[in-house]
Chain A
Amino acid sequence: MFSYPLPMQRVIDALKRLPGIGPKSAERLTFALLRMEPAEIEQLADALVHLQRDLVTCSICHAWSQSDPCAICTDPRRDPHTLLVVEEMRDLLALERTGAYHGKYHVLGGVLSPLDGVGPEQLEVESLLHRVQQEQTQEVILATNPTVEGDATAVYLRDRLLPLGVTVSRLARGLPIGGDLEYADEVTLTRALEGRGAL
């Protein structure tokens, strides 16, 4: 049976390990790579090599960064009194794009999930508690996703944080923009009411 030449097979096997890439996609991407200019390929290979070599996780907030501590953690214009907790760095970037938040961040590195063997020890929980005690934190904003796991993680963190004497808040969950009260379910409506804000 005919098989791919070894250099192709190596790239296909490597690509297949990426999330969302199956055997078919890996093959298609490999053929696309073959058609690229040598200079482009070298740029790509160089970028890949430097991706890990030039990045560190910030020892304070645990986001990927070129420097440790990261640019946000060392920025004196950032409000040191508020700390916003996200699951992943992607969420941090989404919030940064809004320009609505000026405090500091903490990246948990995931959410609680007993089925996957993820407990508090696998997340950056102790370092969060440590920060809150050491820094001038007054409010911790929990911005985990509104999923079952995100909710459970937020409740767990709230119970750990409240004894430290800080204000704990959660991103408002509730009615979608353009939604209709009449068609919302009880859980959504109750959450929207509990998380209501002053106008």
Chain B
Amino acid sequence: MRLTRVVLRDFRNWNSLQWQPPPGPLWLVGENGQGKSNLLEAIALPAQLRSIRGATDREMIRFGASQAEIFLAFEEKGEHHEVGLRLQPGGRQMHKDGRPQHKASALVGFLRVVPFQPEDIALVAGPPALRRRWLDVLLSELSQPYLQQRSAYEHALRQRNALLRQGSYKTLAGWDEALSDAGAAVTIARLSVVVQLTGLLQQLYQMLSGEKSQILVRYRSSWLSPSTVPPPFLEARGELQEGLRQTAALERQREVTLVGPQRDDVALLVDGHEGRRHASRGQQRLLALCLRLAEAKLLAERYQDPPILLLDDLYSELDEVRQRRVSAFIQRFEQALMTTTQHAVAEKGTVFFVKSGTLHSLGDG
């Protein structure tokens, strides 16, 4: 898919933008603080429904304005679609192909983007919660049932934890069943993606780095027996129930549920060593980029259509050889928006200059 029109009003430092981006690689060139990253954040918002920079709605509304608007038109397999999002103090208003939507889940998977930003190094070097969230967002886009199971699981978990805090256990068994049903489904879905990721990451990492490193993705769980293939549903459910039985005494003491997908991790191994601790910064950064590109490939396969890449400050830490390899890979996507401070980097593709919340093409001078 590709964007055909981008309209912003009062989004961060973008007072007003009307832009018709062409297909292919697009370079947004400008000094720091001019609005390049803000533009990518705005485009990602109607797709992922939360700021890729972790900002609140209030922070994304231009200072002094009462509301912000994002309107995107895009083409998918020759069909025209539109998505609109209005941020205002009372909440959000969403439109999908001109129709108002009340549930955020209606927009999941509609416009598909894959963002990459320098902070994504935390996906490799940071705590498990970041990898879990990344996996959850990806899985929600890949499968509607996952979104439902995931929210059923979180709901059951909140109820069960409330019960543990209240110290009344006589209805606990009821929540165990709801929890283990949804928990098993969530875990199986995660494992099946982890299996696909392993092969993809290995391939991408070797291609972009030129190194022969072996990359492995492992799903780490305290309650599920280690396995490289997703277990059958009944087996996973049984193991989660067993895990709950084994931690029963301890969780009453700590007043919180101690086993389940909310505590699992996805470990990335580089040549058998934990990437989080032992990989170099350069390896971690490249691995993070590979995670995002693998995400893009999975989405492309699932929808038979490539997502839009939003790559923020991609080349700042890559050497020239790797820059060229990444460039060659990105050519396969219908559209990619990339920001950079160095004009010289922008070789292939259309160049736009960003200056204090305005956009100019090369021809504009």
Contact = CB atoms under 8 A, between A and B. Distances in A.
Given A115-B159, A185-B185, A152 B149 contact: no
Interface stretch (B112-120, B162-170, B289-297, B334-342): B162-170
Contact of B175 (A120, A152, A186, A187): A152
A185 B186 CA distance: 11
B188 interface: yes
Interface in B142-189: 143, 145-146, 148-149, 152, 155-156, 158-160, 162-163, 166, 168, 170-171, 173-178, 181-182, 184-185, 188
Interface string A108-127: 00001111000110000000
Contacts of A169: none
Contacts of A153: 174
Interface in A144-199: 148-149, 151-156, 159, 184-190
Contacts of A112: 171, 174
Contacts of B345: none
B233 interface: yes
B162 A114 contact: yes
B49 interface: no
The 10 closest A-B pairs by CB, nearest first: A185-B145, A152-B174, A114-B162, A155-B174, A156-B174, A186-B233, A114-B163, A151-B178, A148-B156, A156-B171
17 contacts: A113-B159, A114-B166, A115-B158, A119-B168, A148-B152, A148-B178, A148-B182, A152-B156, A152-B174, A152-B175, A155-B176, A155-B178, A159-B173, A185-B146, A186-B233, A187-B182, A190-B181
Nearest to B161: A114
Given A114-B166, A152-B159, A185 B177 contact: no
B234 interface: yes
A154 B174 contact: yes
A123 B115 CA distance: 49
Contacts of B176: 155
Q: Is the interface of A mostly helix, strand, loop or mixed?
A: helix
Contacts of B178: 148, 151-152, 155
Interface residues of B, number: 30
Contacts of A151: 174, 177-178, 181
A119 B167 CA distance: 12
B149 A185 contact: yes
A110 to B, nearest CB: 13
A120 B146 CA distance: 31
Contacts of A188: 145
Nearest to A188: B145
Contact of B181 (A113, A156, A184, A187): A187
A189 B184 CA distance: 13
Contact of B159 (A114, A155, A156): A114
- Among A115, A151, A152, A154, max chain B CB count under 10 A is at A152
Contacts of B173: 155-156, 159
Contacts of A114: 159-160, 162-163, 166, 168, 171
B171 A185 contact: no
Contacts of B185: 185-187
B303 to A, nearest CB: 15
Contacts of B158: 115
A80 B254 CA distance: 46
Given A114-B166, A190-B181, 5 more contacts: A114-B162, A148-B155, A152-B178, A156-B170, A187-B184
A148 B171 CA distance: 13
Interface in B310-327: none
Contact of A190 (B152, B170, B234): B234
Interface string A8-26: 0000000000000000000
A5 to B, nearest CB: 28
